[in-house]
C-alpha cells in the first residue's frame, strides 16, 4: 500500500472554487416517539471538496459520517446551512431538481450484496441509467463494454446475474454503475468494509485509477483509518455530529492534533506484532497524557 495519494494539481471544473462546499450544515432527524426530542445528527458541519480530490470522512459509529454523505445526496434533511455543488445551492432542491444532478453526483454503498438488483443481468443494471438518460441502445451496450473493461471485469460478465459474482466483483459492478454517466463526484459510503483485505486493496486501487483517469472527486466515508490514509488526499474527523479535525491525510493519520483523533488512531487494529507492541507503548504514553490533560471531550473547537 502507498502512504497517501498525491494532491490534485488543479481544479478540473475550470474554476478556483471547490466542487462541493458544505457550509455550516445541521441535520436534525425528527423524533418518531411522542415527547422525545428531535435528534441533532450534524451540528454545523463545514467541508470543501475540490475537483479531483478525495476527502476521507472518518469517525466512530454514530458520529454522523453517513448522515453527511446522505445530506450531500439529498437523502437527509438539511435543517440549516447550505450545500453548494459547482457554485449552485443543492441543499434546497426538491426531488425533481435533484434528478438533474444524477449525471454529476453518484453513490457507491457499502453492501454489494444488496445494492444491485438481483433479478437483472449486469447488462441491464448498467444500461438502465444510460437508456433513462436517452442514450441509444447500441451506444449504451458499447458503453457497458467499456465500463466493464475499466473496472477489470470480463466482457461476458454482461449476461450474468449479480449472484454469480464474488463480493469484490459485485462492488466493481456497483462502481461501473456509478460511473455510467461520468459523474464528477461520488459519495462512497464504506465501499470496501464488506470485502476481505485483498479485495479491499484491489477496489481501493480501482477507485484511485478511475480518479487519475477521469478527475472525479470522492467523499469517502469509512471508519477504517488505514483505508482513509490510503485513499484520501485530505481527512476530516467526525465526532458526535461535528468535524473536529481536518488536514492532509498523511498528517492527520500519523500526527493528529486532536485527542479524539489520537485515541481513534490508537484504537485502530494493527496486525503486525512489532507494530502492536509499539502501539501498546504509545497507548500507555497517551493514557498518561490524558490523565494530565483531562477527559478527551475537552478538545479544541
Please report, as ranges, the residues that interact with ligand ATP according to CB under 6 A: 29, 39, 41, 59, 61-67, 223
Q: Which is nearer to ligand ATP, 165 or 239 (CB)?
A: 239
Give the shortest CB-284-to-ligand ATP separation in angstroms.
Answer: 27
Q: Which is nearer to ligand ATP, 19 or 71 (CB)?
A: 71
Give the shortest CB-41-to-ligand ATP separation in angstroms.
Answer: 4
Q: Which is nearer to ligand ATP, 160 or 240 (CB)?
A: 240
> Could you tell me the three cell numbers for 67?
448522515
DSSP letter for each residue of 212-239: HHH--EEEEE-S-HHHHHHH-SEEEEEE
Which SS3 state, helix, strand or coil, does residue 25 take?
Answer: strand
Please classify residue 61 by burial: count the beta carbons closer than 10 Å to its beta carbon, then call 0-12 exposed, 13-18 middle and 19+ buried: exposed
Give the shortest CB-188-to-ligand ATP separation in angstroms.
Answer: 13
Contact 113, 170 (CB under 8 A): yes
Give the shortest CB-105-to-ligand ATP separation in angstroms.
Answer: 18
Give the shortest CB-233-to-ligand ATP separation in angstroms.
Answer: 21
Q: Which is nearer to ligand ATP, 45 or 180 (CB)?
A: 45
Which SS3 state, helix, strand or coil, does residue 267 take?
Answer: helix
Which SS3 state, helix, strand or coil, does residue 268 take?
Answer: coil
Q: Which is nearer to ligand ATP, 61 or 94 (CB)?
A: 61
Give the shortest CB-262-to-ligand ATP separation in angstroms.
Answer: 19
Contact 174, 115 (CB under 8 A): yes
Quote the distance between the C-alpha of residue 48 and its chain's center: 14
CA dihedral 6, 11, 13, 19 (to 10 degrees): 80
Rounded to 5 degrees, φ, ψ at 86 are 50, 40
Q: Which is nearer to ligand ATP, 61 or 198 (CB)?
A: 61
Quote the distance between the C-alpha of residue 170 and its chain's center: 18
Amino acid at each position: 500500500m502507498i502512504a497517501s495519494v498525491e494532491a490534485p494539481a488543479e481544479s478540473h471544473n475550470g474554476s478556483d472554487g471547490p466542487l462541493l462546499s458544505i457550509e455550516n450544515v445541521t441535520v436534525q432527524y425528527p423524533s418518531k416517539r411522542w415527547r422525545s426530542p428531535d435528534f441533532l445528527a450534524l451540528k454545523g458541519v463545514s467541508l470543501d471538496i475540490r475537483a479531483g480530490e478525495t476527502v476521507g470522512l472518518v469517525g466512530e459509529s454514530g458520529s454522523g459520517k453517513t448522515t453527511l454523505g446522505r445530506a450531500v445526496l439529498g437523502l437527509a434533511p438539511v435543517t440549516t446551512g447550505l450545500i453548494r455543488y459547482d457554485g449552485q445551492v443543492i441543499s434546497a432542491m426538491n426531488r425533481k431538481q435533484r434528478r438533474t444532478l444524477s449525471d454529476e453526483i453518484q453513490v457507491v454503498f457499502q453492501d454489494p450484496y444488496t445494492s444491485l438488483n438481483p433479478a437483472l443481468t449486469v447488462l441491464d443494471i448498467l444500461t438502465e441509467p444510460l437508456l433513462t438518460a436517452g442514450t441509444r441502445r447500441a451506444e449504451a451496450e458499447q458503453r457497458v463494454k467499456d465500463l466493464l473493461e475499466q473496472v477489470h471485469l470480463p466482457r461476458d460478465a454482461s449476461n450474468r446475474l449479480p449472484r454469480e459474482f464474488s463480493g469484490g466483483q459485485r462492488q466493481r459492478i456497483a462502481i461501473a454503475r456509478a460511473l455510467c454517466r461520468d459523474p464528477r463526484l461520488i459519495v462512497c459510503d464504506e465501499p470496501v468494509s464488506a470485502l476481505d483485505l485483498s479485495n479491499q486493496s484491489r477496489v481501493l486501487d480501482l477507485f484511485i485509477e478511475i480518479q487519475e483517469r477521469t478527475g472525479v472527486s470522492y467523499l469517502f466515508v469509512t471508519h477504517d483509518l488505514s483505508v482513509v490514509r490510503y485513499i484520501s488526499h485530505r481527512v476530516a474527523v467526525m465526532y458526535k455530529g461535528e468535524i473536529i479535525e481536518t488536514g492532509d491525510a498523511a498528517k492527520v493519520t500519523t500526527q493528529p492534533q486532536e485527542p479524539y483523533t489520537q485515541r481513534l488512531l490508537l484504537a485502530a487494529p494493527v496486525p503486525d506484532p512489532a507494530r502492536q507492541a509499539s502501539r501498546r507503548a504509545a497507548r500507555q504514553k497517551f493514557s498518561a497524557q490524558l490523565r494530565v490533560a483531562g477527559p478527551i471531550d475537552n478538545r479544541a473547537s
